[in-house]
Amino acid sequence: MKKKHQEVCDILIAWLAISFCFAIVLGGYSVLGYVKTKAFNFSWAGFLTNFGLSLIITATSFIFHELAHKHTAIHFGGQGRFVLWPAFLLIGVVFAVLFGFIFIAPGAVYIYGKQYSKKDEGLVSLAGPATNIIMALLFLVAGALGAPIIVISYGLFINLWIAFFNLIPIGPLDGAKIIRWNALAWVVAIAIPTILMFAFGLF
């Protein structure tokens, strides 16, 4: 029970931090942005609007991403638990505030309980970014049905960026595990958010 409580706390802290970072970046409140433009158009109303939208959208993008990892691991007969990485979370917040860039890996789902094959590990890793891609497509459908453009643009950017970032094949990120299993699967997976971000001008 104690581990479960800690996992919930870790996810909530990571969710708030990621939402804060997206609010800073999407609102244009970074130090670098001020240096470039010599104008700092900060307002509490604007920031709280951005933060509120980010909270709502990362509740589906970030939390669903981590839950997809966890439940895919359970599907393969193991267990999974989200663990916060405080140092990486802090680095991500600093990057957002100083440079207006989302570079954040606040934690990860640790899988355990059985010996995973490369394929199992690759599929568990792919589950998170795949969930974000599906969520982005659902936001497109919502846009076609008349949802507000700001919600659609935030939903697309946040989901596609989380998918793209996690598919970078370095260190503990999902991309490194996917490419060890199947390089073609990784190419297809990273191509989708990359093409969509270019298509909608989100890069």
Contacts of residue 179, defined as CB under 8 A and 6 or more positions apart, other chains included, come to 169, 186
Return phi, psi of residue 108, to 5°.
-160, 160
DSSP class per residue in 158-170: HHHHHHHHHTS-S
Burial class of residue 60 (count of CB atoms within 10 Å of its CB; 0-12, 13-18, 19+): middle
Sign of CA dihedral 130, 131, 132, 135: positive
Task: Please report, as a single letter, which amino acid is at residue 12.
Answer: L
Contacts of residue 175, defined as CB under 8 A and 6 or more positions apart, other chains included, come to 125, 166, 167, 168, 169, 186, 190
Question: Coil, strand, or helix at residue 42?
Answer: coil
Active site residues: 66
Q: β-strands 107-112, 79-84: how paired?
A: antiparallel
Integer Cα distance of 122 and 85 in angstroms: 22
